[in-house]
Amino acid sequence: MGARSVGTGTRTVAELVQERWDDHRPGLWCEGRALTHHEVAAGAAARAALFAELLSPRAEPHIGVLLDNTPEFPLWLGAAALAGAAVAGINPTRRGPELARDILHTECRVLITERTHLPLLDGLELPGVRVLVTDTQAYEDLLAPYADARPEPGPATPRSRYLLYFTSGSTGAPKAAICSQGRLAAAGRSLAGHFGVRADDVHYVCMPMFHGNAVIADWAPALTAGAGVALRRRFSASAFLPDVRAYGATYFTYVGRAVQYILQTPARADDRDNPLRTGFGTEAGAVDAAAFEERFGVRLVEGYGSSEGGAAIQWSPGTPKGATGRAAPGDDLAVLDPLTRAECPAAVFGPDGLLLNGHEAIGELVNRGPNPFEGYWRNPAADAARGRGGWYWTGDLFYRDADGFLYFAGRTDDRLRVDSENLAAAVIENILARYEGADAVAVYAVPDPVAGDQVMAAVAGTFDPLAFEAFLDAQPDLGTKMAPRFVRVLDRMPVTATNKIHRARLRREGFRCADPVWWRPVGEAGCAGYRPLSGADVEGLVERYRARGREELLLR
């Protein structure tokens, strides 16, 4: 995600950390604790020295970080930069074997965590992994010998592997996308320039730092400009405005669901009394973005950037309602039919603004020019799929109007994005297949009325809602975002001519189908489990999509 497409720069993140050594201004705040830029650089140097002692010479220099947004997260980001190491952000919503797989796949020999997350590691087989628990005396004792360390030039180069951040694929486990020090430093410089970030700014980091959103789009530009960083351990809508005022925050990043939660807090007459200049993110939607600006006096800048760095779309003044923007400078973006590789025709809109020719205008967004995609960790098949034919295939669906503005339309494969979490349908299917009444299971995305997706499952066989609810509660590897919102119950799964599950048909029919559908309404008081989806429920849902300008997504 970025203001423009960036390649591997000539600077390193390590150099940016070193530059803060002589800066004694306040630079990092979290939960009543404040550190100067100098103290952050010194803390990073101490941790880099500790890591060098702990790492075996034969091991990959990878650090797993399983933390909330505490000061330890940016301190270890700085440490990894100085040590020429890579940070793998470990997602605490993952569970059981899937969580262990993420740690072991990225070959993390050191895992940084805190006491609140230790129960997630109970019973996991993590051979060769040294676990450091930050909020303990043992951890402080380990760091003590390195208190005088300085951020000296280390082994880092612009091409040094720096981030391994997970992005879901259409089948199997998440892939770990690679980001080098040079690319992150270049992204930080690009965003700082685009938004005019100054040294006296404060960036509010309320999105989880194990995601690229917070590190690439919030922390990196602050580091580049010498701006301060204020952390919120976990996102809180009610704490958003008090935090912004307390820290004097001028910039933040978001995902659409967070914006909706903030707008749901009670409005006050003084909401516009805040220091924010800009919010930068994705999936807020035109309706919520306008409501946010009206209420808080802050413009939200929507952006699109492939997580892997292969394509970016840049908003600019004059971007039509609902559009993301045009291709960023240097990108040769096209909307292509993935089978024929031919360009899709321009979108045609009706008087009400609805897309009339989605069946031919919607295609996959492809960057046909040079791009900074750096591959996935130990996944050559995924590398080849992403870069087939010498072009970068984003895996995202778009359509383009006659003026070249691009509109996001979904995803090409079986990925789901729920509350800003990327999920793989196959992983959820493997869990739901254990349900005793299921002869066959298919999991797929239906659009969320506000942003992203919701999980829908089709179950062929017998279905008991109470038993299914109990089954879900008993699954140790079912992540917190994976439980289906809708369950379609059918006698037999629809199949294609080659006897594969007809996923396209299931997605197209969604929850408006002839078969019984059970659902769990979002936020409905007293509804602890699944209940039948009625005709009135469907009408109410469609009205919610219409109010948010997302009804056309139900028609794909």
- Mean per-residue pLDDT, 139-166: 95
User: Pairing relation of β-strands 33-36 and 26-30?
Assistant: antiparallel
- 64 — pLDDT class (breaks 50, 70, 90): very high
**Residue 413, pLDDT score:** 64
| pLDDT at residue 2 tops 50 | no
485 shares a domain with 348 = no
Instruction: Provide the pLDDT confidence category of residue 527 given band limits of 50, 70 and 90.
Output: very low
**CA pair distance 549, 556, nearest whole angstrom:** 14
CATH of the domain at 437: 3.30.300.30
Q: Is residue 128 a part of any domain in this protein? A: yes
The domain spanning residue 88 has which CATH number?
Answer: 3.40.50.980
Domain final residue, candidates 371, 386, 411? 411
Sign of the four-CA dihedral 37, 130, 182, 301:
negative
What is the overall mean pLDDT for the chain? 90
Residue 8 has pLDDT above 70, yes or no: no
- In this structure, are 25 and 79 located in the same domain? yes
The pLDDT, as a whole number, for residue 171 is: 44
pLDDT of 356 higher than 80: no
Residue 31 is part of which domain span? 13-182
The answer on 404 and 504 residing in a single domain is: no
pLDDT of residue 353 exceeding 80, the answer is no
The answer to whether residues 421 and 545 belong to one domain is yes
Whether residues 47 and 86 share a domain: the answer is: yes
Give the whole-angstrom CA distance, residue 260 versus residue 284. Answer: 8
Q: Residue 29: pLDDT above 60? A: yes
- Looking at per-residue pLDDT, the higher value among 477 and 415 belongs to 477
Q: Is the four-CA dihedral 468, 470, 471, 472 of positive or negative sign?
A: positive
Residues 398 and 502 in one domain: no
Which residues does 197 contact at the CB level (< 8 Å), separation at least 6? 191, 203, 221, 222, 224, 225, 227, 251
Do 34 and 173 reside in the same domain of the chain? yes
Are 176 and 106 a contacting pair, CB within 8 Å?
A: yes
74 located within any domain: yes
CB contact at 8 A, 276 and 250: yes
Residue 93 pLDDT > 80: yes
Residue 435 and residue 468 in contact, taking contact as beta carbons nearer than 8 Å: yes
Domain end among 389, 411, 433: 411
CB 313 within 8 A of CB 332: no
Residue 194: inside a domain: no
Same domain, 439 and 389: no
Q: What CATH number corresponds to the domain at position 373? A: 2.30.38.10
For residues 333 and 475, membership in a common domain is answered with: no
Residue 283 located in a structural domain: no
Q: What is the mean pLDDT of residues 62-71?
A: 98
Let me know if residue 335 belongs to a domain.
yes
Query: Are 428 and 540 within one domain?
Result: yes
Residue with more model confidence, 256 or 238: 238
The verdict on residue 241 lying in a domain is: no
Residue 98 lies in a domain: yes
How confident is the model over 503-513, as a mean pLDDT?
Answer: 91
Contacts of 317 (CB under 8 A, 6+ apart): none
Q: How many domains are there within the chain? A: 3
pTM here?
Answer: 0.81
361 with 487, same domain: the answer is no
Same domain, 310 and 444: no
End residue of a domain, out of 131, 158, 182: 182
pLDDT in tens, 189-226: 999 998 999 999 999 999 999 988 899 999 999 999 99
